[in-house]
Amino acid sequence: MTRIRLRIDLAYDGAPFAGFARQPDQTTVQGTLEGALQRLVGQDVAATGAGRTDRGVHARAQVVHVDLDVASATPEPADHVDRAERALADLDVLRDRLDQLVGPAITIWQVSSASQAFDARFSAVARTYRYRLVDAPAADPILRHDRWHVGQALDVDAMQQAGQALVGELDFASFCRKAPGKHTVRRIERVAVSRPSRGRVDIRIDGTSFCHQQVRSITGCLVEVGRGRRSSSWVGQVLEARDRSVAAAVAPPHGLTLERVSYGRWWPASPPESALG
């Protein structure tokens, strides 16, 4: 008996899920994925994800790894091992079947085999989040599912300037939901605020890893600056305070998308841009 590790690249619309992480009696991305895999391979499966997105947060390129038991040189493999081997015979077919089972709110981009050294969570060297804002007076209702309608013109330059105070290895205690016993130092590589078209503002944040609600909290603060209620330098002051009570309210979850998880050149590549529709 031996174990094989699979890497699964997937995307999801966060709306119908109580977040990524499995929870009893709730529909979650992890629970849905594990349940579908169990049906296909006939054994218990525990999925490890690169980022535990919150209820309502989307992911365009989440990465997960799972381990399955397969036969090595066993003359009579157990049934659960046999089923797993058949499921693994063609990973493209496994992708198709898994994609069918997890339903329209989750898409399986790719299933690939990975070495035991690959860990979806701890091997990740960078994560990219994008928060989408609409600052026109009226917002397109057809495209409202992944953006927050702020409804007031935002000052992109002021937001961009404010965001630069957050670049570096810093204590983000002011922006992290408290988790007892866990430190709040994180490394942000880049904060880029841009206007992709009239009436829209995007905030892209790249970092090695993020604490709970960090991106939504940063977004809430940057929007305060964009509205003109706070100066650009205020965000740096919030950081220095190391006190969550001085930060703005966190931005709503549906504007946030985990866009990319990077593992460096030696790991299997992310799905091609073309797959992103």
Query: Given the structure tokens 């670049």, which residue do they identify?
Result: 167
List, in sequence order, every beta strand (DSSP E) within the chain.
Answer: 2-12, 48-49, 58-70, 106-114, 126-134, 148-149, 168-171, 185-194, 200-207, 256-262
Task: State in angstroms the smallest separation of the CB of 97 from a second copy.
Answer: 13
Q: Is 105 in the site for a second copy (CB under 8 A)?
A: yes
Nearer of residues 180 and 277 to a second copy, judged by Cβ: 277
The stretch among 35-43, 192-200, 208-216, 242-250 that binds a second copy (CB under 8 A) is 192-200
Q: Which of 62, 69, 63, 21 shows the shortest CA–CA distance to 45?
A: 69
Nearer of residues 20 and 172 to a second copy, judged by Cβ: 20
Residues 114-153 close enough to bind a second copy by CB under 8 A: 134, 136-147, 149
> Residue 38 is encoded by which pair of tokens?
């169990």
> Residue 165 is encoded by which pair of tokens?
């105070």
Q: Is 72 in the site for a second copy (CB under 8 A)?
A: no
The answer to whether 188 and 206 are in contact (CB under 8 A) is: yes
Q: Give, in order, the Cα–Cα distances in Å from 37 to each of 96, 118, 212, 268.
A: 12, 19, 27, 21
Nearer of residues 124 and 258 to a second copy, judged by Cβ: 258
Task: State in angstroms the smallest separation of the CB of 49 from a second copy.
Answer: 16
Q: Is 109 in the site for a second copy (CB under 8 A)?
A: yes
> How far apart (Å, rounded) are the C-alpha atoms in residues 172 and 163?
13
Nearer of residues 11 and 238 to a second copy, judged by Cβ: 11
Q: Is 108 in the site for a second copy (CB under 8 A)?
A: yes
Residues 150-189 close enough to bind a second copy by CB under 8 A: none
> Residue 169 is encoded by which pair of tokens?
């290895």
Task: State in angstroms the smallest separation of the CB of 41 from a second copy.
Answer: 20
Give the CA dihedral 262, 265, 271, 274, nearest 10 degrees.
110
Nearer of residues 123 and 270 to a second copy, judged by Cβ: 270
Active site annotation includes 54? yes
x/- string (CB under 8 A) for a second copy, residues 198-237?
A: xxx-------------------------------------
Residues listed for the chain: 277
Give the CA dihedral 170, 173, 175, 177, nearest 10 degrees.
140
Catalytic residue among 54, 135, 146, 206: 54
Residues 12-51 close enough to bind a second copy by CB under 8 A: 12-13
Task: State in angstroms the smallest separation of the CB of 213 from a second copy.
Answer: 20
> How far apart (Å, rounded) are the C-alpha atoms in residues 275 and 14?
19
> How far apart (Å, rounded) are the C-alpha atoms in residues 257 and 24?
24
* Number of shown-chain residues binding a second copy (CB under 8 A): 37
Residues 45-64 close enough to bind a second copy by CB under 8 A: 58, 60
Nearby residues of 163 by Cβ (< 8 Å), 6 or more positions away: 191, 192, 193, 203, 205, 218, 222, 235
Residues assigned a catalytic role: 54
Instruction: Give contact residues for a second copy (rule: CB under 8 A).
Output: 11-13, 58, 60, 99, 104-109, 134, 136-147, 149, 197-200, 257, 271, 273-277
